């Protein structure tokens, strides 16, 4: 095992794998289950904690004392990075895209409670933000600090390895729990694609026939597929697995983005309500609600009565509070 890939444990344990019988009945499928990565144990949870177990493991190994990362002011990744860094006693600098913070709600509100140091960069996009983060790291070094830079979404080989690990956690759960079916499809939200890449890399190294389906909330299908292909094969190379995936192995939909990334969609909002009313569980308007809407639509398009499906929840629920007015709009009830 690469020394670089050292886990600093942050999760409380395995996240639950639970059935959603009322949703399954409503959708007319054999079963729907959920992998609860909204319950990763700290600061309202989410998928980024799994990436941060390895990213901060790496930062600690390198004796870093400052974490620099970034994203939009509503970023789940930023909120969880600050929380986790506080938890282990490291400082964090957040580099936000754009020129204004907007309403202090949801994740941005939590960042403030967590005491994050925040910079508004005036830039947009992952690459531009990474450049600013590298400049900040240079400034920090001049101040005698030892910074560790985490790109937007934490999607490096080190971060994505958290989802390789998650895949193996899931496989072990399937073996333990006798009532879990063999899933035909596993739906997961795609932002930068690192989460899906980690899962695909995990699946490539175990015999398993489920089809992993990504629902993009940001990029078009072509770009998301290319990114996931590269992230998956880079990770497999990093961990010395003599296997690779091809473009045919990567299934991504991009028709559930709505107007654009960061803006709630009507279908996503309906999916949020459906899950809340049927199962008492929450998904969010920016990521998981749109992915759930994608799953619901895909299942309705083909004969799915025999299907067993898993929705891999990736968190994001603080964003519900940033979008109260959109969620309460008439016509979406």
Ligand X SMILES: *Cc1c(COP(=O)(O)O)cnc(C)c1O
Q: Which residues bind ligand X (CB under 6 A)?
A: 46-47, 76-77, 153, 155, 189-195, 287-288, 314-316
> Quick one: DSSP state of residue 66?
E
> By three-state DSSP, how is residue 122 classified?
coil
CB of 57 or CB of 140, closer to ligand X: 57
CB 52 within 8 A of CB 90: no
Q: Which is nearer to ligand X, 26 or 109 (CB)?
A: 109
**Nearest distance, CB of residue 233 and ligand X, angstroms:** 16
Largest CA distance in the chain: 62
- Residue 57 or 154: the one with the smaller Cβ distance to ligand X is 154
Minimum CB separation from ligand X for residue 35, in Å?
12
- Within 13 Å and on the Cβ side, how many CA atoms surround 185? 24
Whether 228 and 250 have beta carbons less than 8 Å apart is answered as yes
d(CA 201, CA 94): 29
In the residue annotation, 155 being an active-site residue is answered as no
Comparing every residue's Cβ against ligand X, the nearest one is 316
Q: Where are the alpha helices (DSSP H) in 145-287?
A: 157-176, 194-204, 221-238, 266-279
Cα separation of 168 and 158, whole Å? Answer: 16
Closer residue to ligand X in complex, CB, 216/298: 216
CB of 150 to ligand X, least distance (A): 12
| Bridge partner residues of 188 (DSSP) | 214, 312
Which one of the listed residues 72, 75, 97, 265 is annotated catalytic? 75
What DSSP letter does each residue of 70-113 carry, written as one string?
Answer: EE-TT-HHHHHHHHHHHHHT-EEEEEESSS---S--HHHHHHHH
Nearest approach, Cβ of residue 285 and ligand X (Å): 10
Q: How far is the CB of 34 from ligand X (least distance, A)?
A: 14
Angle value at C-alpha 184, between 179 and 190, nearest 5 degrees? 110
Nearer to ligand X, 34 or 190 (CB): 190
What positions carry a catalytic annotation?
Answer: 75
């Amino acid at each position: 095992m690469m020394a670089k890939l050292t886990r600093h444990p942050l999760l409380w344990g395995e996240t639950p794998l639970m059935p959603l019988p009322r949703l399954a009945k409503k959708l007319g499928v054999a079963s729907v289950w959920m992998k609860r990565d909204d319950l990763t144990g700290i600061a309202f949870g989410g998928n980024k904690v799994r990436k941060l177990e390895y990213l901060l493991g790496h930062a600690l190994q390198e004796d870093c004392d400052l974490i620099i990362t970034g994203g939009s002011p509503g970023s789940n990744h930023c909120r969880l990075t600050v929380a986790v860094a506080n938890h282990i006693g490291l400082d964090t600098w957040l580099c936000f895209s754009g020129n204004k913070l907007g309403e202090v709600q949801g994740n941005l509100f939590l960042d403030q409670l967590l005491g994050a140091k925040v910079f508004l960069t005036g830039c947009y996009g992952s690459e531009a933000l990474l450049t600013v983060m590298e400049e900040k790291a240079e400034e920090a070094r001049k101040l005698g600090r030892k910074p560790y830079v985490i790109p937007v979404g934490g999607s490096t080989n080190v971060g994505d390895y958290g989802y390789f690990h998650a895949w193996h956690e899931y496989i072990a759960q399937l073996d333990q729990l006798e009532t879990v079916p063999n899933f035909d499809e596993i739906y997961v939200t795609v932002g930068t694609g690192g989460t899906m890449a980690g899962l695909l890399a995990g699946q490539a190294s175990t015999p398993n026939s489920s089809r992993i389906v990504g629902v993009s909330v940001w990029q078009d299908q072509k770009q998301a597929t290319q990114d996931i292909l590269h992230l998956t094969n880079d990770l497999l190379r990093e961990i010395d697995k003599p296997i690779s995936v091809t473009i045919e192995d990567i299934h991504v939909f991009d028709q559930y983005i709505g107007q654009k990334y960061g803006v709630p969609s009507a279908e996503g909002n309906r999916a949020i309500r459906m899950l809340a009313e049927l199962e008492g569980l929450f998904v969010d308007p920016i990521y998981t609600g749109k992915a759930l809407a994608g799953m619901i639509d895909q299942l309705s398009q083909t004969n799915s009565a025999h299907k067993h499906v898993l929705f891999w929840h990736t968190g994001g629920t603080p964003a519900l509070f940033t979008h109260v007015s959109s969620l309460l709009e008439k016509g979406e009830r």
